Every structure is written in C-alpha cells, then in structure tokens.
Structure 1
Amino acid sequence: MRIQEIPIKNIRRPLFRQNDQEKVKALMASIDEIGLQEPIDVLEVDGEYYGFSGCHRYEACSRLGHETILCKVRRAPKAVLKMHLA
C-alpha cells in the first residue's frame, strides 16, 4: 500500500452512497481549515482507481474544488474489484 495524491476526476465511484450532508459540511469546514487528515482508500486495478470508502471526505474535497485527494492506494486484480461490486 502506498499513499499518494490522485486527481479526483480519475477516481471512479461505482457504488452509489447517500451522504449525510451535515457531515459533509462539517468536513468541508475542517478540511478548509486544517486539510484532509485521513486519506481515502482506493483500489488500483489495471491503472484505474476505484473508491469504495471515504465518501464524505471525497464529496467534501470535491465541493471545495480540490483537484486532487490524498489516497491510500492498494493494487488489486480484477477479481478483487468484482468482489467489491457484488
């Protein structure tokens, strides 16, 4: 696993999640003041990035206009991606 900044536009979010908008607003204020403290987790499969967690942090950074987001990147084969999508 490695930690790196990834362009938000390059992270696919294949599963719909309903975010708590109050939590997103609180995170936006925190991230704006002190920065993102906890990276989101992404899978890297064949050079593509997939995010399944960190939904509120992802939305907060997106709404703040950040072009990149700090990620914990774990490489995985397609079989692992399929398990997440099942």
Structure 2
Amino acid sequence: MANLPLNFSHAPIKISSLTIKASSNGVPFSKPKSGGLVILDIPLDKIRRPLMRTRANDPQKVKDLMDSISQIGLQEPIDVLEVEGVYYGFSGCHRFEAHQRLGLPTIRCKIRRGTKETLRHHMR
C-alpha cells in the first residue's frame, strides 16, 4: 500500500497537502460498512474460477483492459463469493485475465459471503 501526497494550490480553501491510502493499482481502498459487502485486493492465485473453461474470453477486450488497467488502474472490482474462507470468481473474466497477463499479483474484489448451497446455485 502506498501513501500518495496530493497538493492543492488552486483550491478555494487553503490546503497544503492530503494523504490518500491506495492499493497497488492506485485506487483508494473502500471502508466496508457494517454488514455490507467488503472490497479488498486478493491475490489472483487465491481465487478459484470454476466456470473458466465454459467459454473463451474475447482477446481484443482483454487487450483493451490491459491497456486501461496499465494506464488508470482497475475501475470496477470483480465479484467474488467467499465460502468457508475460499474465494470463487464468477464474473470479471476479462478483467481477471488482463491482470494475469499483466503479471499483477492481486485484483480488487467485491466480496460476498455465501454458503455451500449458494455456491452450488452459482455452479448450475
């Protein structure tokens, strides 16, 4: 995690500097609300992709995402289901592959907790 100083010399209120905590891709961390979903950076190798072989990703879309992520970071986290401490990714296939191909160790995820029954429902 990096601390990035920002200077606002042209602001109407005189502020000399402000520090924002951000992840490795430069996007500020979200603070989870009580009982709400959690947004975290998770290592790619900790996310299981059970439906990965059901379809191929569009290579041009992956390339475009790689360019965008390289320039401005990931703008929309992928959705991940956590079941008994294991993360399962069912959406964000192109974003996930773009992170893999860029060699990034983590990806920003919206994490929802679920049960084994919830997991079985997603696997259908």
- Common fold, TM-score beyond 0.5? yes
The runs of 5 or more residues in structure 1 that have no matched partner are: none
The higher relative CO (CA closer than 8 Å, separation ≥ 6) is in: 1
* Number of residue-to-residue matches in the alignment: 86
Whole-angstrom distance in 2 between the partners of 1:62 and 1:38: 16
In the other structure, the counterpart of 1:35 is 73
Whole-angstrom distance in 2 between the partners of 1:27 and 1:44: 25
Q: Deviations over 1:17-69 (max 9, x none)?
A: 31000000000000000000000000000000000000000000110000000
Whole-angstrom distance in 2 between the partners of 1:47 and 1:25: 32
The one-letter amino acid paired with 1:81 is L
Mark the structure with the bigger radius of gyration: 2
The one-letter amino acid paired with 2:88 is Y
CA RMSD of aligned residues (A): 0.5
Equivalent position SS for 2:109 = strand
The runs of 5 or more residues in structure 2 that have no matched partner are: 1-36
Matches within 5 A, 1:4-15: 4-15=40-51
| TM-score, length of structure 1 as denominator length | 0.98
In the other structure, the counterpart of 1:54 is 92
The one-letter amino acid paired with 1:5 is D
Whole-angstrom distance in 2 between the partners of 1:53 and 1:18: 13
The one-letter amino acid paired with 1:76 is G
Whole-angstrom distance in 2 between the partners of 1:36 and 1:80: 27
Whole-angstrom distance in 1 between the partners of 2:98 and 2:48: 16
Identity among equivalent pairs (%):
63
In the TM superposition, structure 1's runs of 4+ consecutive aligned residues that sit over 6 Å from their partners are none
In the other structure, the counterpart of 1:24 is 62
Q: Which has a greater percent of helix?
A: 1
| TM-score, length of structure 2 as denominator length | 0.68
